[in-house]
Amino acid sequence: MAKEKKLVEAITSMEEDFAQWYTDVVKKAELIDYSSVKGCMVIKPAGYAIWENIQKELDARFKAVGVENVYMPMFIPESLLEKEKDHVEGFAPEVAWVTYGGLNPLQERLCVRPTSETLFCDFYAKDIQSYRDLPKVYNQWCSVVRWEKETRPFLRSREFLWQEGHTAHATAQEAEERTELMLNEYARFCEEVLAIPVVKGRKTDKEKFAGAEATYTIEALMHDGKALQSGTSHNFGDGFAKAFGIQFTDKDNKLKYVHQTSWGVSTRMIGGIIMVHGDDSGLVLPPRIAPTQVMVIPIAQHKSGVLDKANELKNELAAKFRVKLDDSDKGPGFKFAEQEMRGIPVRIEIGPKDIEAGHAIIVRRDTREKIIADLNEISVKVAEVLDTMQKEMLERARAHREAHTFEARTYEEFKDIVANKPGFIKAMWCGDEACELKIKEDTTATSRCMPFEQEELSNVCVCCGKPAKTMVYWGKAY
Amino acid sequence: MAKEKKLVEAITSMEEDFAQWYTDVVKKAELIDYSSVKGCMVIKPAGYAIWENIQKELDARFKAVGVENVYMPMFIPESLLEKEKDHVEGFAPEVAWVTYGGLNPLQERLCVRPTSETLFCDFYAKDIQSYRDLPKVYNQWCSVVRWEKETRPFLRSREFLWQEGHTAHATAQEAEERTELMLNEYARFCEEVLAIPVVKGRKTDKEKFAGAEATYTIEALMHDGKALQSGTSHNFGDGFAKAFGIQFTDKDNKLKYVHQTSWGVSTRMIGGIIMVHGDDSGLVLPPRIAPTQVMVIPIAQHKSGVLDKANELKNELAAKFRVKLDDSDKGPGFKFAEQEMRGIPVRIEIGPKDIEAGHAIIVRRDTREKIIADLNEISVKVAEVLDTMQKEMLERARAHREAHTFEARTYEEFKDIVANKPGFIKAMWCGDEACELKIKEDTTATSRCMPFEQEELSNVCVCCGKPAKTMVYWGKAY
């Protein structure tokens, strides 16, 4: 019992200190460990398995919309990084530089990719000649490096895992369509699989990607009212094509520049899952992404027949679910606490009395609801519970977001909300970067996006009072 | 027709120049392209899809024997790399060094992982306390960097993709069992999936991994008679554990060092597939690993009904096979040449006459055999052809290896074989490194392995004539 207490006590409560709660959960749920390499983490089996499921699910969705996977080198020669002016300015200050190969200094230093636009462009410039070579819809799953000063597991680390799609198209329209298509894929994935509702919109010029003509984003609201940029899709127009000379001969026999896009999501999404769904007992994983969906926990397992029955149950469920049996020599209370800490969506308790009664007890991780299920129909029941849980987790996250989305019509209102009500703020904006900067300085809130679903809250900018151009979601962000 | 010719002419024949043939195939089959980063390649969709299939198949096999995936940082601090003496000597001369993070020089330089023993050991030293924490059977899929001077696509490049398993065990026996288990998994995978027969054996001390107690290897024979080390499994004993202080409290309450293993295969395997199965028309992919197994090629596709029927056929086959339809505006001859170049196991030709007759023609890539198949039973027929092809490719590779495996009882014989008969040479060895060095200097052949299946060809060393300890497979190697 001392041990059980220790496990539970180990987590700071969310209300008390959300940042500490987050750190406790990633450690105690055994998602990551810190490494000897400052700012880089070790992703442990429980954490990596979530990433594997994200990859598997997203990769299938990508392939269904024509994406092909490739692999580019992890190094970028300095001269290549410098080819696109905005891009190098955006990334050069935060890259890691390789200066020695073996015992010899390199003639030209190489950066470890912070993102691979330049490598894809260099490749496309050679590989694309004719309209017949288009479109190119390539993606890679890899790790990238950005030399961040402040790091937090999953949210901001010097190395992180991601996918980066890079496409080239014959027309501006096709590039725009691909940019939107991929953003929609991300949004659907977040809602359907991660049970995270997102706001889709466009970044302001200040917040857009270095080198992009337009950046689209999905923004999610965390439990503490902060925003998490969860995926982005960029339309590059022909800017990179001109910098890298990516031209093709079109059907009309004219030489034209391609139009490009890029889009990516990362292990950051795991941070989002934790901060949207977690509670004071630890992680809560949506059933569709959970590496283990069901944990069978025998009660009084030393008693004759219990372990056999628990094993039988596990094997039966394994045909339809990702299921494990905890037959370790720990006490049931400790096993419950562990299963809860790790966010396993349901546990099934089964002891001598249950076996006698011909049932088992299904316990939902999110609501703690206990459902007594007949052993004859347990598989159907588990499927129902997991489906319901998946659906209700999304609904709950949506309700939380709606309860924490505010409207500000005056600057006083805006400042009051930022100071007192954590969440998204919808407010009108004139389109001037000066107002964005002022709002950030006054409140630390930043523009999250100009949502595709616009509303006209008023006709003046919340900051300067000049005519408004667009409604913006504002918020403090990770 | 000019274009068709160009495509076919583009490949040098194997007999004429095997190295050039290899380079032509990797380029013309669109597996890779060279990049602006010297010694690093771009893996294109056709190449990466092979790697994805290798990953998928191997990963499932790993998981079935208890392997869990994790992710370690890509950087290793210099002090960490230096902890195990043999290991640092083996790798330090060929690593890439990061010396700057953003605009600032690093206090300690970091190498880009050439392999991750040191990172796993550093992690295990913290993570393992009790026998309850054992065994650890972790693996990661990642890229590694070795600053090679001479590079060749898939066979030797500065960056390559691989998996590296790293395990920790309570006993020496368990570590030895895991080392052998993984080698056997690799061997089975090569034979069952890649249709590549391998010799399993142990490396001599000279050839073993830097820091290992024993290295086991699978060695395959390429079409040109050279050997390819295709996968290795290392038993570290407790050497790394002592260097890194990885100790656990055992059931008897005593503090003990763990015993460790590591094992890996890489994109090198793709080089093996090319060099074992390819021919003068290009790549030949074993059906089980081929990203596209069947290419449907319509004949006279402008004629009414042909494309519809070809599409119907494709859709029917898609339920059971990885199938594509080539309905581009190229001529059939060009399509055949392309399908052959890319190594797609079978093509199905279907034209107006075939449709009238209610059949289609299945053409095997390896033998060019044409099989007329009734459209009503085409799916069954394709399955048969692919199965037979997979089986016969392995048999052919095994026959080729047997025909190119020689025995040498005297040093004259040995030298004559190396000079005139490309292949493996079986010969007895005294166990002395001096003989290995002399053989290498005299003939350029190296010891490939001491096979598990030993034979006693004579009782004296083929080189020095002293009493022999073991039979060794020798050969020139990639």
A371 pLDDT exceeds 50?
A: yes
Specify whether the CB–CB gap between B346 and B385 falls below 8 A: yes
Q: Cα–Cα distance between A410 and B473 in angstroms, integer? A: 83
Q: Cα–Cα distance between B384 and B392 in angstroms, integer? A: 12
Specify whether the CB–CB gap between B409 and B462 falls below 8 A: yes
Q: Average pLDDT, stretch B27-52?
A: 96
Specify whether the CB–CB gap between B35 and B27 falls below 8 A: no
CB contact under 8 A, A40 and B76: no
**Nearest by CB: B100 against A35, A69, A97:** A97
Specify whether the CB–CB gap between A42 and B73 falls below 8 A: yes
Q: How confident is the model at residue A1 (pLDDT cuts 50, 70, 90)?
A: very low
Q: Indicate the residue type of B119.
A: L
Phi, psi for A109 (deg, rounded to 5): -75, 155
Q: What is the H or E stretch that residue A135 is in?
A: none
Q: Torsion angle of alpha carbons A371, A374, A376, A381, nearest 10°?
A: -20
Total residue length of chain A: 478
Specify whether the CB–CB gap between B346 and B335 falls below 8 A: no
B3 pLDDT exceeds 80?
A: no
User: Which candidate, B117, B149, B118, places its Cα nearest to that of A103?
Assistant: B149
In the structure, how many helices (H) and strands (E) does chain B have? 15, 23
Q: Is A251 touching B (CB cutoff 8 A)?
A: no
Q: Is B181 touching A (CB cutoff 8 A)?
A: no
Predicted pLDDT of residue B2: 46
CB contact under 8 A, B43 and A71: yes
Q: How confident is the model at residue B111 (pLDDT cuts 50, 70, 90)?
A: very high
Residue of chain B minimizing CA distance to A78? B37
pLDDT tens, residue by residue, A385-436: 999 999 999 999 999 999 999 999 999 999 999 999 999 999 999 999 999 9
What would the two tokens of residue B88 be? 């640092």
What SS3 state is found at A409?
A: coil
Predicted pLDDT of residue A233: 98
Q: What is the H or E stretch that residue B187 is in?
A: helix B172-192
Residues 117 to 136 of A: which have CB under 8 A from any B CB? 119, 122-123, 126-127
CB contact under 8 A, B93 and A103: yes
B365 pLDDT exceeds 60?
A: yes
Neighbouring C-beta atoms of residue B275, cutoff 10 Å: 24
Q: How confident is the model at residue B23 (pLDDT cuts 50, 70, 90)?
A: very high
A88 pLDDT exceeds 90?
A: no
Question: Residue A174 half-sphere exposure, CB side, CA atoms within 13 Å?
Answer: 13
Q: How confident is the model at residue A87 (pLDDT cuts 50, 70, 90)?
A: confident
Predicted pLDDT of residue A7: 55
Q: How confident is the model at residue B356 (pLDDT cuts 50, 70, 90)?
A: very high
Q: Is B147 touching A (CB cutoff 8 A)?
A: yes
Q: How confident is the model at residue A280 (pLDDT cuts 50, 70, 90)?
A: very high
Q: Cα–Cα distance between A402 and A423 in angstroms, integer? A: 9
Please state, rounded to an integer, the average pLDDT across all residues of chain A: 96
What would the two tokens of residue A66 be? 């024509």
Q: Average pLDDT, stretch B414-432?
A: 97
CB contact under 8 A, B77 and A122: no
Strand A159-169 versus strand A199-202 pairing type: unpaired
What would the two tokens of residue B95 be? 């690593």
Predicted pLDDT of residue A14: 95
**Nearest by CB: A102 against B49, B94, B142:** B94
Instruction: Find the distance separating the first CA and the last CA of chain B, reported in whole Å.
Output: 37
What would the two tokens of residue B217 be? 């290897």
Residue of chain B minimizing CA distance to A80? B36
Please state, rounded to an integer, the average pLDDT across all residues of chain B: 96
Strand B104-112 versus strand B96-101 pairing type: antiparallel
Residue A203 CA from chain centroid, whole number = 17
B6 pLDDT exceeds 90?
A: no
Q: Cα–Cα distance between B460 and B408 in angstroms, integer? A: 11
Specify whether the CB–CB gap between B346 and B363 falls below 8 A: yes
**Nearest by CB: B100 against A96, A102, A127:** A96
CB contact under 8 A, B43 and A100: no
CB contact under 8 A, B68 and A52: no
Residues of chain A in contact with residue B120, where contact means CB-CB under 8 angstroms, are none
Q: ipTM, 2 decimals?
A: 0.95
Strand A136-145 versus strand A159-169 pairing type: antiparallel
What are the Cα distances from residue B422, in Å, to A295, B158, B406, B419, B444? 57, 28, 9, 8, 12
CB contact under 8 A, B123 and A33: yes
Q: Indicate the residue type of A67.
A: V
Residues 23 to 52 of B: which have CB under 8 A from any A CB? 33, 35-37, 40-45, 48-49, 51-52
**Nearest by CB: B33 against A35, A123, A158:** A123
Phi, psi for B71 (deg, rounded to 5): -140, 125
CB contact under 8 A, B43 and A70: yes
Predicted pLDDT of residue A42: 97
Q: Indicate the residue type of B168.
A: A
CB contact under 8 A, B42 and A72: yes
Size of interface A-B (CB pairs under 8 A): 149
Residue A39 CA from chain centroid, whole number = 19
pLDDT tens, residue by residue, B218-238: 999 999 999 999 999 999 999
Q: Is A101 touching B (CB cutoff 8 A)?
A: yes
| A256 or B89: which leads in pLDDT | A256
Specify whether the CB–CB gap between B165 and B178 falls below 8 A: no
Predicted pLDDT of residue A184: 98
Per-residue buried b or exposed e for A328-359, using 16+ beta carbons within 10 Å of the residue's own CB: eeeebebbbbbbbbbbbbbbbbbbbebbeeeb
Strand B68-69 versus strand B136-145 pairing type: parallel
Q: Is B67 touching A (CB cutoff 8 A)?
A: no
Q: How confident is the model at residue B7 (pLDDT cuts 50, 70, 90)?
A: low
Alpha helices in A319-432 (DSSP H): 332-341, 352-357, 378-403, 411-420
Which of A31, A36, A51, A141 best probes binding to B when mutated, by most B CB atoms within 10 angstroms?
Answer: A36
Residues of chain A in contact with residue B102, where contact means CB-CB under 8 angstroms, are 93-96, 147
Residue A478 CA from chain centroid, whole number = 12
pLDDT tens, residue by residue, B305-347: 999 999 999 999 999 999 999 999 899 999 999 999 999 999 9
What are the Cα distances from residue A448, in Å, to A203, A274, A430, A467, B25? 7, 20, 15, 20, 49
Which of A70, A83, A109, A292 best probes binding to B when mutated, by most B CB atoms within 10 angstroms?
Answer: A70
Q: Where are the beta strands (DSSP E) in A49-95?
A: 68-69, 75-77
